[in-house]
Amino acid sequence: MKPDDSSLQSFELAAVERQAQDLLNRASAWGRFPTPVEDILSAAKLRVAPKEMFDAAAFLAFVKRKTVEAAQTLKSALSKVLGLYDANEQIIHIDDSVGASKQTFLKLHETGHHELPTHRKVFRLFQDCEQTLAPTVADQFEREANNFARYALFQGTAYKEMASDMPMAVKTPIALSKKFGASVYASAREFARTNHRACLLYILEPIQLLPGLPPYAEVRRIEASPSFAQQFGIPVAERIDVSHALGDLLPIGRKMTRPTQLLYSDRNGDTHECLGEAFKTPYNVLLLIYPTKALTGPMIAVPETYNGVA
pLDDT digits (tens, 9 = 90+) for 33-76: 999 999 999 999 999 988 766 655 455 555 555 554 443 433 33
Q: HSE, CB side, 13 Å, CA atoms: give it for residue 135.
A: 3
Residue 138 pLDDT: 87
Lowest mean pLDDT among 88-102, 155-169, 198-212: 88-102
Inter-CA distances, 150 with 17, 146, 216, Å: 9, 6, 30
Lowest mean pLDDT among 5-9, 232-236, 296-300: 296-300
Nearest to 286 by CA among 181, 192, 158, 150: 192
Across all residues in the chain, what is the average pLDDT?
Answer: 87
Residue 97 pLDDT: 83
Query: What is the C-alpha to C-alpha distance for residues 3 and 281, in angstroms, rounded to an integer?
Result: 22
Span 92-98, average pLDDT: 86
Phi, psi for residue 83 in degrees, rounded to 5? -155, 145
pLDDT at 163 over 80: yes
What pLDDT digit, counting tens, does each position of 251-308 carry?
999 999 999 999 999 999 999 999 999 999 999 999 999 999 755 444 334 544 433 3
Residue 280 pLDDT: 98
At residue 162's C-alpha, the angle toward residues 161 and 163, to 5°, is: 95
Band (pLDDT 50/70/90 cuts) for residue 310 is very low
Phi, psi for residue 201 in degrees, rounded to 5? -120, 125
Lowest mean pLDDT among 32-41, 85-94, 114-123, 267-276: 85-94
Query: What is the C-alpha to C-alpha distance for residues 232 and 103, in angstroms, rounded to an integer?
Result: 35
The angle, 0 to 180 degrees and rounded to 10, between the axes of the packed helices 135-153 and 10-26 is 50
Residue 307 pLDDT: 39
The winner for highest mean pLDDT among 67-71, 183-187, 236-240 is 183-187
- % residues pLDDT > 90 (the chain): 72
Q: How many CB atoms lie within 10 A of CB 155?
A: 21
Query: What is the C-alpha to C-alpha distance for residues 249 and 115, in angstroms, rounded to an integer?
Result: 42
